[in-house]
Structure 1
Amino acid sequence: MKRILINICLCAVLSLSAFGEQWRLHPTFSGDVERVIDTPEHVYLLSNNQYHYPWTVDNARRTMSLFRYEKDGEELVWLNRQNKLSGTVLQAAEYNPDKKYLLVAYDNGNIDLLHDNGDVTNIPGFMLADARYSKNVNAIGFNPSENMVLVATDFGYISIDDDKGEVLFTRELSRSFNGIASLGDRLVLADSEGLYAGLISDRSFTSFEKINGYRDVERVVRLGDNRIIVSQIYGWGGEVRALTLDAAGALTDKLLINYYIKSLELNRAGVTVSGYDEIWDIDKDLNMSHYPKYDEDKDTKLASWDQKTCYVARGVDGICIRRLGEDGAWTLVNEGIVPNASNAYKCDNMVYHPSYGMLVRNHGISQTFVSQDVNTPDYISSLKGLEWSPMSPAFRYPSPMFEQWNPKGIAVDPRNPDHVYSGSVLHGLMRLDLANPSNSLRLSRDNDPGKIGDRLVVVQPAFKEFEASCPFSAPAFDDYGNLWATWWDFDLWKGGQDCAEIWYWTPEDRLASQDAASYKPMKRIKLPGAGASNYSVIVPLHGASSRNILMYISGGWESCPIFIDHKGTLDNQNDDERTNIQHLIDQDGSEVDFAYILSVFEDASTGLVWLGLDKGVVNFRPADIIRTGGRVNRIKVSRNDGTNLADYLLDGVWINCITSDPSGRKWFGTNGGGIVVTSSDGTEVLRTYTSSGSELPDDAVYGICYNPDNNSMMISTDKGLAELYLSTATSSGSKSNAVAYPNPVRPDYFGYVTIEGLADNALVKIVDAGGGLIKEVGFAAGGEARWDVTNLNSKRVPGGVYYVMASGSPDGDSFSAVAKILVVN
């Protein structure tokens, strides 16, 4: 059956375009490559979007992106639901050389067959199956003679007919399997404990027999009708073994390789095995040849279909291409092909930077991301125009000096915008120098692993009970240029003593602190009686009447804000005024029910502060909440059903983030309900974006930030980043009669884009999001112009948003943007 989901997605995009809205999904490339799959025409790269920790809450499921390298080109193209595929986040993929397709299994159980000729067949049966079945796909095997695909799952396996595109049967075996292959009428299954063989017709796992000598099975690959190859990886060792079904129906086992194994992939004659510093080719008759790796490729995964050209996964450098000469020497064909992608995946930290564009950073520990045993690296990336750049030295130059696991916040220094600050529960406060990362500075504990050179400032001794902690919150700047962050003493907390503090760094002391020797200490404000946690937040307020007020939120259960008015005299804490809010009381006198404060947004245009709760949203003016001791406003939204009834805005909904766009509209990111956009005061719901009704990747939304370069909202979700382009009319109130179609331009469209509604004889050109000239289209004839979707070199443009610029007269003295065109590749 032909894939129909892309048509549904296209309709969704086109319907949004009627409102002037277009989407762009952004890939993630963390450098953690799971698989390299070489095929006759393409090379596929499966890259983990984030570290995979099966035993945790936050990172339990494997999430991967799929990139494809065209052998006649030099670009890694991200495949997703906006171009070829039915989904974006993968669980597994496997190539079927007999029928020439790549099977792609998504995190929701949906399956695509991506054929070498570009056709896509969607098989949704597993996704739509009984809800009691886990949709995790752990491994894939093929039986081409029976048109059969075998899919190993958390509960057993399923069988699919790849000609008919339907599920044949399901085997509930009450076990999770990570390997599967057929041998004649036999089936071989692998799990964490070993390898098992039985008949495909067996409906119970008790009928399967365990095969001795197998443990820690990594891959099971079918090699002809009667043989499979099995790789096992354990610690710094491993094995590759062959299991053969003889004519009498007996299984024979043979050890082929006893070595540290990195990967095992199909080639045109058999399989290619990558060891630490060796490569083996094994054909279907178990004949073997081997040759040493190039020194720089040691400890890497690779694949080679023709057994001469190797595609090598080189971590953050993407893939390099090497060719083996007749003399056994390697020739470097391409030193590194890296996807145009963000390194960060789930980003509750995002900010626009005037020089570097949109900055996004991996998440830290918060009420949303609770796992403290998950080490999320400090990957920060910038989007300028349509290009992503890695900005984190932890990504480009792995070193303990730059370690800051679970980063929190992106605070740009107003006195030196190249300096960007973040906090961390484990690694203190980091100052990242975007212009020169080697000049970065870290404030942390005396046992921090980053004690290299003079770039670590020791600001605390290691705690007695939690030695690996130096808990700084996300930092923030006030209007005077002071940097603020919270800190708490774990040992004092364990002893039941006052432990919460606010630290601040004046601009003079901060700029003077170039290294550990010149460090000018941060100053501290103690908060007696205040709670503290790894989720504490400090918010310096910026309103005209609030610039001396700090809002402290401990992050604890039912903890209300604490307000500290320092009067502008930071050196004199004796005149500070502190207001502890005990309860939040709404305008009707009712206590607001909530467990946690999750997000804070101060609206500079109104002076209102908005709090996102685990059960809704409230706002207040700082002076009013201090004066009344906790009075807030719960926004009421009219039902518009002819009655006078109204409901509280987002009542009972977990609010991860709040922001505003240039029109003042409020954007609320929820933890499962997508995005809700309201009027500036929140009393009218204008739009709702969900994954089922738009291109939003997932309904768990962690961050939203306006990007003025693209007039767009950057959105971070549980399945990566997306960008929603706002219409000119929406953002500025201006309108244009120009219309461009088709829009979006899909990968399979190779005609002209027609632009109508132009001034007659207007000079028309196409520019990119950064204003760079892409193409001179010429003069509009009868108010119409056409663009062939190519650049000045007559090559098709990369995917992205392009602007139609039209002059007001034929002389072309003054141009204005009249339309936007989204190109999807």
Structure 2
Amino acid sequence: MKSLINRLNNLTNSFIYKNLILFSLLTTIYFTFSLQNLLIAQNENNIALGEWRTHLTYFDAQTLATSPEKVYVASQNGLFFYDREFSNLEVISRIDGLSDIGISYLQYLPNIEQLLIAYKNGNIDFLSDNEIKNFPVFFEDAAILDKQIYHIYYLQNVVWISTNAGILEIDVESETNKRIRNSYQNLGENGEIIKVFATTIQDNIIYAATEKGVRYTSLNASINKNDFRNWQTIPSTQNKVIESIGSSNSTVFFAIQNEGIFSYNGITSNRVSQIPITSVYDISENRTNLTGVFISSETGIYQIEGTNSSFQVNKIENDLIKAPRQAISENGILWIADNRTGLITNNSSNFVSLFPSGTYSQNTWGFIQAKEKIIAFSGGYTEPFTPLNRTTGFYVFEDGEWINYNAENRDITSKPIPNVRDLVGATYSETENRVYFASLQDGILVWNLADDTFSVFDSTNSPLPHNRIIDVETDNLGNLWVALSGSNLREDAYMRKQPNDDNSSSWKGFRFNQTRTTFPLSLEIDENNTIWARLSRFVQGGILVFNEDEENTILIESVNSGNLASNDVTALKSDQNGVMWIGTPAEVSASVRTFSDIFGLFNGQDLNARDVFFESRQLLRDETITTISLDGGNRKWFGTTNGAWLFAEDASKQFLHFTVENSPLFSNQILDIEVQDKTGEVFFATPNGIISYRGTSTAAKTDFSNVKIFPNPVRPEFNGVVAIEGLTQDANVKITDISGRLVYETDSFGGTATWNGTDYNNTKSKSGVYLVYVSNQDGTEGFVGKIVFIE
């Protein structure tokens, strides 16, 4: 016992010491306790420390492919499959090894039992049961500038890939040996490069749907298919855009843009009059009985059966079929990729809609969090001040699921909101239990969390001078602060609304006699309730700083007037110590500076931001800072155009740098970062969608009433780190074996401490019980827990 106390000498007078006696009495029976009585294990809705998960869009299915075991579906930016045996859905992403994002077409290759995944940018993956292999030959061909892939046709161990640059022919005879056999790029009637949207093969002739008609040639080996003069055009299609093509029973079917569906028997072409003239997305061949095709169009799905002289056309009717993009038939069972209802099938007699939980759109402008919810809003604008007219609303992540709110009514699971456009800012008012959204065109959207209802503040029902709201923030008194874009000098450019009072009398306006102040980009409020507004670089830029008493100053790049690295300020963040962190573009001498003299802002003192140094050079000096965020330990996350970086509280140490090349990130352009306070999960918004990473720091607690240790028990296959979560700031953590030998010691980052399961000699822990002793900084409070390792 003395040995143990010596190792824990700073805890002898604390709560911890009192519990050591109890634990020593338990050492003789530690193998008998029930695993059900361990401290709290990881919540099933969370991911392990250091792991990633994707948050993509799945309801808007674009293309699908079927294998004997699975049905694969690609959406706007995601990929998932339906497991036929277990009737469940699973997501596949860059976390699993996909090389890219943005899938244009899927094709299953039964001879090698692999899925061919074609991306819009020309990249290609082959997916088997146990691995994903990239086939980047076409993607890396520098001679081809536009590599957009539209369609894949498969027959007899060869695939024909339709692209903006022509047709790519790939031999896929074996699992391991894949090679490009030919690339046909000059298929125009005069040898010019033309876009090819799809291909089909009928009676040893390959037909290509192009932007200049249906072009075709023989597949006989004696024919030089690289010579454009050996390609012919179906006369009725000359110089017309052919949207899609397919074949069955010696008949070729193709869609002419704005003219309808046509059949071709090798001599003449005729319109299929039973199908309306509308946009056609795909013509799929029914390969299970080798008869008929399925037309996926703007007005629905049509099945054509019969011969050129006698067609039977049937429309597939069901309320779930709203925007079909592709349909595959297997012995009477339909699998449909629908752009509004995901994967549709009548596999169980009745039609059902299937898709994983995800965001409504890949568009995300920024994040906030409210009551453990992560809220992503999806509006936007292009500078200078042109709205994107997005009506995609916002998405809420809670308990491992997404709920989408918008006025578009495309996703059948979305909840309706008022028709407000371009949500570009948001804030949570804990005092009112409301979320406020800034709409760049339609005022302020108010979401009352208590009853899930919505209202709107605009110029018709509030003192707002107009409806161009660029940001909203809440101060620590519960006041709502509003930044308006493009006010004239006679109008208020900023407003404050008192909490729990929506009357006009609760609003106060602020205006400043400089044009630059009328074009703010975002607001940040420091611990003293001082308002910091980033100003647009197109109207001189800089930072406006003011308070409720209308004291104000403008910080610019001039020495003693702010000493900013640039007037083009791209990010502002006030940290837990009251220091304002300022981000700027890479074009200037220093991308990150700090401002800590907040008490001298309005008293006439010289005001100078300071450079931040890391390893004897200016921090991130060659990077464009897009966003700055804090984790629970006050560490700094920097989003840039070159990935995401995590630095220590004072930037003295770099912990992480994520890029597309070394992580599953979808893009190196980081639009925003939000760290979930409770779990430490870090959400990254990119132009291609949202992805998150489970960080090692959570918001600190005020006591130890809700400590969690996970995973617990630690099983043999686990290779991550153990987290002790729910701690106070900078809590001391000691881990001992059951005999009292100190194994590991650390302090928490925010509310979380971690242990990789090894001792100071880097020796992996053996099976048994390990004791966890935690105390706050002054030793007056503590916690005792246990971890079980199983070999």
Instruction: Measure the CA separation in 1 of the matches of 2:442 and 2:99.
Output: 40
Instruction: Write the deviation string for residues 142-199 of structure 1: whole angstroms up to 9, x where unpaired.
Output: 3x23x32222223333222222312223344333332234456654333445333356
Among 554, 557, 565, the alignment partner of 2:547 is 565
Describe the SS at the equivalent of 2:599: helix
Describe the SS at the equivalent of 1:82: helix
Contact preservation (8 Å) 1:584, 1:630:
no
1:631 lines up with 2:648 in the alignment = no
Instruction: Measure the CA separation in 2 of the matches of 1:602 and 1:590.
Output: 16
TM-score where L is the length of structure 1: 0.70
Q: Find the counterpart in structure 1 of residue 633 from structure 2.
A: 663
Greater shift in the superposed pair: 125-134 or 478-487: 125-134
Q: Find the counterpart in structure 1 of residue 496 from structure 2.
A: 504
1:149 lines up with 2:159 in the alignment = yes
Among 658, 676, 682, the alignment partner of 1:689 is 658
Instruction: Write the deviation string for residues 41-83 of structure 1: whole angstroms up to 9, x where unpaired.
Output: 43332222xxxxxxxxxxxxxxx31221122333332222333
**CA drift at 1:477:** 0.4
**CA drift at 1:501:** 0.7
1:112 lines up with 2:125 in the alignment = yes
Instruction: Measure the CA separation in 2 of the matches of 1:44 and 1:654.
Output: 38
Could you tell me which amino acid in structure 2 is paired with residue 476 of structure 1?
E
Alignment CA distance shift 1:333-1:134 (3 Å): closer
Greater shift in the superposed pair: 337-346 or 308-317: 308-317
Q: Find the counterpart in structure 1 of residue 137 from structure 2.
A: 125
Instruction: Write the deviation string for residues 329-366 of structure 1: whole angstroms up to 9, x where unpaired.
Output: xx5254x33312233434342223225x3222324226
Greater shift in the superposed pair: 84-93 or 281-290: 281-290
**CA drift at 1:703:** 1.6
Alignment of 1:176-575 (within 5 A): 176-183=195-202, 186-198=205-217, 201-203=224-226, 208-214=231-237, 215-221=240-246, 223=248, 228-232=252-256, 234=258, 239-245=260-266, 252-256=268-272, 257-259=274-276, 260=278, 263-267=282-286, 268=288, 269=290, 270-274=292-296, 279-283=301-305, 285=307, 288-294=311-317, 296-297=319-320, 299-301=322-324, 303-306=327-330, 308-312=332-336, 317-322=341-346, 332=350, 334=352, 336-355=353-372, 357-365=373-381, 372-373=387-388, 375=390, 377-384=392-399, 386-392=400-406, 402-417=418-433, 419-434=434-449, 436-437=451-452, 439-444=453-458, 457=461, 470-489=467-486, 492=488, 501-510=493-502, 522-531=507-516, 536-541=521-526, 543=527, 546-547=528-529, 549-557=530-538, 558-567=540-549
Could you tell me which amino acid in structure 1 is paired with residue 671 of structure 2?
Y
Could you tell me which amino acid in structure 1 is paired with residue 665 of structure 2?
L
Could you tell me which amino acid in structure 1 is paired with residue 614 of structure 2?
V
Q: How many correspondences in the alignment?
A: 659
Contact preservation (8 Å) 1:553, 1:561:
yes
**CA drift at 1:399:** 9.5
Contact preservation (8 Å) 1:37, 1:265:
no
1:610 lines up with 2:581 in the alignment = yes
Q: Find the counterpart in structure 2 of residue 722 from structure 1.
A: 691
Contact preservation (8 Å) 2:320, 2:341:
no
Describe the SS at the equivalent of 2:438: strand
Alignment CA distance shift 1:31-1:633 (3 Å): same
Describe the SS at the equivalent of 1:688: strand
Instruction: Write the deviation string for residues 498-550 of structure 1: whole angstroms up to 9, x where unpaired.
Output: 5661022211323xx6xxxxx77743212222326776223232x2xx32x22
Contact preservation (8 Å) 2:322, 2:341:
no
Alignment CA distance shift 1:148-1:458 (3 Å): farther
RMSD (CA atoms): 4.2
Instruction: Measure the CA separation in 1 of the matches of 2:471 and 2:181.
Output: 52
Alignment CA distance shift 1:710-1:489 (3 Å): closer
Instruction: Measure the CA separation in 2 of the matches of 1:520 and 1:313.
Output: 53
Describe the SS at the equivalent of 1:531: helix
1:579 lines up with 2:549 in the alignment = no
Alignment CA distance shift 1:650-1:284 (3 Å): farther
**CA drift at 1:669:** 0.8
Could you tell me which amino acid in structure 2 is paired with residue 705 of structure 1?
E
Among 43, 61, 65, the alignment partner of 1:33 is 61
Contact preservation (8 Å) 1:280, 1:289:
no
Instruction: Measure the CA separation in 2 of the matches of 1:687 and 1:476.
Output: 29
Structure 1 unmatched ranges of 5 or more: 1-19, 49-63, 246-250, 325-330, 447-456, 463-469, 514-518, 568-575, 639-645, 746-756, 762-781, 786-804
**CA drift at 1:277:** 6.6
Instruction: Measure the CA separation in 2 of the matches of 1:151 and 1:580.
Output: 57
Q: Find the counterpart in structure 1 of residue 767 from structure 2.
A: 784
Greater shift in the superposed pair: 646-655 or 147-156: 147-156
Could you tell me which amino acid in structure 2 is paired with residue 618 of structure 1?
R
Instruction: Measure the CA separation in 2 of the matches of 1:718 and 1:633.
Output: 32
Instruction: Measure the CA separation in 1 of the matches of 2:61 and 2:790.
Output: 35
Could you tell me which amino acid in structure 2 is paired with residue 387 of structure 1?
E
Could you tell me which amino acid in structure 1 is paired with residue 327 of structure 2?
A
Alignment CA distance shift 1:101-1:612 (3 Å): same
Instruction: Measure the CA separation in 1 of the matches of 2:251 and 2:304.
Output: 12
Could you tell me which amino acid in structure 1 is paired with residue 57 of structure 2?
F
Alignment CA distance shift 1:118-1:624 (3 Å): same
Could you tell me which amino acid in structure 2 is paired with residue 134 of structure 1?
D
Instruction: Measure the CA separation in 2 of the matches of 1:288 and 1:424.
Output: 53
Alignment CA distance shift 1:820-1:423 (3 Å): farther
Describe the SS at the equivalent of 2:493: strand
Alignment CA distance shift 1:118-1:534 (3 Å): farther
Contact preservation (8 Å) 1:500, 1:532:
no
Alignment CA distance shift 1:23-1:206 (3 Å): farther
Describe the SS at the equivalent of 2:673: strand
Instruction: Write the deviation string for residues 478-515 of structure 1: whole angstroms up to 9, x where unpaired.
Output: 1221111111456x4xxxx65661022211323xx6xx
Instruction: Measure the CA separation in 1 of the matches of 2:401 and 2:787.
Output: 21
Instruction: Measure the CA separation in 2 of the matches of 1:667 and 1:461.
Output: 36
Could you tell me which amino acid in structure 2 is paired with residue 699 of structure 1?
N
Instruction: Measure the CA separation in 1 of the matches of 2:523 and 2:197.
Output: 46
Contact preservation (8 Å) 1:476, 1:538:
yes
Q: Find the counterpart in structure 2 of residue 598 from structure 1.
A: 570
Instruction: Measure the CA separation in 1 of the matches of 2:623 and 2:334.
Output: 51
Instruction: Measure the CA separation in 2 of the matches of 1:500 and 1:151.
Output: 57
Alignment CA distance shift 1:277-1:692 (3 Å): closer
Describe the SS at the equivalent of 2:59: coil
Instruction: Measure the CA separation in 2 of the matches of 1:654 and 1:216.
Output: 42
**CA drift at 1:441:** 0.9
Instruction: Write the deviation string for residues 309-347 of structure 1: whole angstroms up to 9, x where unpaired.
Output: 3345566554443369xxxxxx5254x333122334343
**CA drift at 1:460:** 6.9
Instruction: Measure the CA separation in 1 of the matches of 2:770 and 2:402.
Output: 29
Instruction: Write the deviation string for residues 82-114 of structure 1: whole angstroms up to 9, x where unpaired.
Output: 336444432332345676643211355331233
Among 654, 668, 682, the alignment partner of 1:699 is 668
Contact preservation (8 Å) 2:674, 2:683:
yes
Describe the SS at the equivalent of 1:475: strand
Instruction: Write the deviation string for residues 278-330 of structure 1: whole angstroms up to 9, x where unpaired.
Output: 64333585665444544524543163423533345566554443369xxxxxx
Contact preservation (8 Å) 2:139, 2:147:
yes
Among 148, 152, 165, the alignment partner of 1:136 is 148
Instruction: Measure the CA separation in 2 of the matches of 1:371 and 1:95.
Output: 43
